[in-house]
Amino acid sequence: MSTIINTPANKQDSFIGLIITLLVVAIVAVLFFVYALPAIQNTSQDQEDFTTIEVNTPAVIDEIPVEPQE
C-alpha cells in the first residue's frame, strides 16, 4: 500500500481583489461627497427659488429708427 501526500499548491496572495475593492469603495465615497451630499443638503434646506428670473421693463419703449448706412 502506498502513501499519498497531497502537498498544497504555492499560495501567492497578491491582494489584487482587496486593492480593487478598496479602490471602488474610495471612488464611490468621493462621488457621494461630491454629488450626493450637496444634493441632499440642498433639498433639506428651505431656500428661495433662484431659478426665477424677474425682468422689469418700462411701460413705453422709445424706438429710435436706425437708418442703414451705405
- pLDDT tens digits, residue range 28-62? 999 998 988 888 777 766 556 567 778 888 788 77
pTM given for the model: 0.45
Average pLDDT of the segment spanning 8-33: 86
Q: What are phi and psi of 27, to 5 degrees?
A: -65, -45
The Cβ-side half-sphere exposure at 35, using a 13 Å CA radius, reads 6
**Residue 31 DSSP symbol:** H
